[in-house]
């Protein structure tokens, strides 16, 4: 549950006790639903290997919804979602059609492989970004075509209905998309980078104490037939406060992805093909815009930093690779 709601509930409950005590009245009983709300906590992913529910999955379609019942115990239910490559979906346990007090979690796995497994890695998850304690994944970008597993979990078995909805958020599921208007902005949503890339980055960062790099992944919903521009992606990244130091670079460098490799420090260059393999599509026109800054923190304290904004226009990813170096 949301921490703020828990604190607020506790304060209101204590206030009620004080008021009733002052009036000489006994404490009024609290309803079952209010007590259940006060006890709710984060819904954890299902244990792996995934439970027996994977053998009798119901179908969830993009643009559709399913309804089920939580039963009387904490549990999970799974649904299979089949998508084309580069489909963007919003998943939500909706307020409409879900009983009061239900506390859910959402988890996405896949795609299903030849052995019938959806894997054990959670691609997307959410606890309570929806209404109240309900779950909502506002953007799930599926790079690969295939069948995915969407799991709904709940922490309190109240024996109530819930409704899971899958809506098209962009990409391949948009029917007859229009051309993007001039200056169409890019709105970024941050997601974890691939674990293998983080491991490579950690190895490279251990190579020299005077060099360090960072790697972040952002996705953006896109419902147009023409691609987002590199300028729009760069503007969205520079709007973030952590990158404000690069805004003063009046002459950023634009390059193809192939040409970008030579701008990476030697120990990080193995990341170049790995990033493309993780997020790129065959023949995709990947572009890079690089901003630089230099400053000094004192004698022998020169710092050099480069912010590289990598746009994958067909896959709807923006990868930010920042590399730094300093005098020692």
Task: List pLDDT tens digits, range 102-125.
Answer: 999 999 999 999 999 999 999 999
- On whether residue 181 sits in a domain, the answer given is no
d(C-alpha 185, C-alpha 164), whole Å = 30
- On whether residue 35 sits in a domain, the answer given is no
Q: Which among 234, 219, 198 is positioned nearest to 308, based on CA atoms?
A: 234
d(C-alpha 303, C-alpha 322), whole Å = 13
**CATH number of the domain enclosing 225:** 3.40.1000
pLDDT of residue 30: 33
Indicate if 197 and 321 belong to the same structural domain. yes
Indicate if 11 and 90 belong to the same structural domain. no
Q: Are 233 and 285 in contact (CB under 8 A)?
A: no
pLDDT of residue 318: 98
Q: Are 217 and 191 in contact (CB under 8 A)?
A: yes
Q: Are 247 and 285 in contact (CB under 8 A)?
A: no
Cα diameter, the chain: 79
- On whether residue 179 sits in a domain, the answer given is no
pTM of the full predicted structure?
0.85
- On whether residue 308 sits in a domain, the answer given is yes
Domain range for 213 is 189-326
What is the total count of domains within the chain? 3
d(C-alpha 116, C-alpha 211), whole Å = 44
Q: Which among 128, 153, 160 is positioned nearest to 75, based on CA atoms?
A: 153
Taking residues 12-22, what's their average pLDDT? Answer: 33
pLDDT of residue 11: 32
Indicate if 153 and 226 belong to the same structural domain. no
- On whether residue 180 sits in a domain, the answer given is no
Split at pLDDT 50, 70, 90, the class of 99 is very high
pLDDT of residue 299: 86
d(C-alpha 91, C-alpha 162), whole Å = 13
Indicate if 316 and 210 belong to the same structural domain. yes
Indicate if 45 and 25 belong to the same structural domain. no
What are 136-182's pLDDT values in tens digits?
Answer: 999 999 999 999 999 999 998 899 999 999 999 999 999 999 999 99
- On whether residue 184 sits in a domain, the answer given is no
- On whether residue 182 sits in a domain, the answer given is no
Q: Which among 171, 303, 161, 173 is positioned nearest to 224, based on CA atoms?
A: 171
Taking residues 285-301, what's their average pLDDT? Answer: 93
What are 203-262's pLDDT values in tens digits?
Answer: 999 999 999 999 999 999 999 999 999 999 999 999 999 999 999 999 999 999 999 999
Indicate if 148 and 194 belong to the same structural domain. no
Q: Which among 317, 287, 104, 100 is positioned nearest to 219, based on CA atoms?
A: 317
Indicate if 267 and 218 belong to the same structural domain. yes
**CATH number of the domain enclosing 117:** 2.60.120.380
Angle (deg, nearest 10), helices 271-279 and 195-205: 170
- On whether residue 178 sits in a domain, the answer given is no
């Amino acid at each position: 549950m949301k921490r703020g709601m828990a604190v607020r509930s506790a304060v209101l409950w204590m206030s009620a006790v004080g008021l009733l005590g002052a009036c000489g009245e006994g404490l009024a009983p609290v309803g079952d639903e209010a007590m259940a709300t006060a006890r709710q906590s984060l819904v954890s992913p299902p244990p792996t290997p995934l439970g027996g529910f994977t053998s009798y999955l119901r179908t969830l379609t993009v643009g559709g919804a399913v309804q089920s019942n939580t039963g009387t115990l904490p549990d999970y239910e799974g649904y299979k979602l089949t998508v084309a490559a580069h489909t963007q979906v919003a998943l939500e346990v909706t307020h409409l059609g879900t009983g009061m007090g239900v506390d859910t979690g959402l988890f996405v796995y896949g795609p299903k492989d030849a052995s019938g497994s959806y894997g054990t890695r959670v691609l997307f998850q959410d606890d309570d970004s929806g209404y109240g304690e309900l779950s909502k994944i506002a953007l799930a970008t599926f790079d690969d075509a295939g069948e995915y597993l969407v799991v709904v979990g709940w922490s309190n078995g109240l024996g109530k209905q819930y409704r899971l909805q899958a809506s098209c958020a962009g990409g391949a599921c948009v029917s007859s998309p229009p051309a993007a208007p001039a200056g169409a902005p890019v709105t970024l949503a941050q997601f974890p980078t691939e674990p293998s890339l983080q491991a490579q980055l950690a190895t490279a960062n251990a190579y020299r104490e005077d060099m360090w790099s960072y790697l972040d992944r952002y996705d953006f919903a896109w419902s147009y037939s023409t691609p987002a521009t590199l300028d729009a992606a760069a503007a969205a990244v520079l709007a973030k406060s952590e990158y404000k130091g690069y805004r003063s670079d009046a002459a950023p460098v634009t390059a193809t992805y192939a040409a970008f490799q030579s701008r990476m420090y030697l120990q990080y260059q193995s990341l170049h093909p790995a990033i493309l393999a993780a997020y790129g599509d065959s023949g995709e026109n990947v572009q890079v815009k690089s901003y630089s800054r230099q400053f000094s923190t004192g004698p022998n304290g020169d710092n050099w930093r480069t912010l590289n904004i990598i746009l994958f226009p067909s896959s709807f990813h923006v990868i930010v690779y920042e590399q730094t170096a300093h005098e020692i």
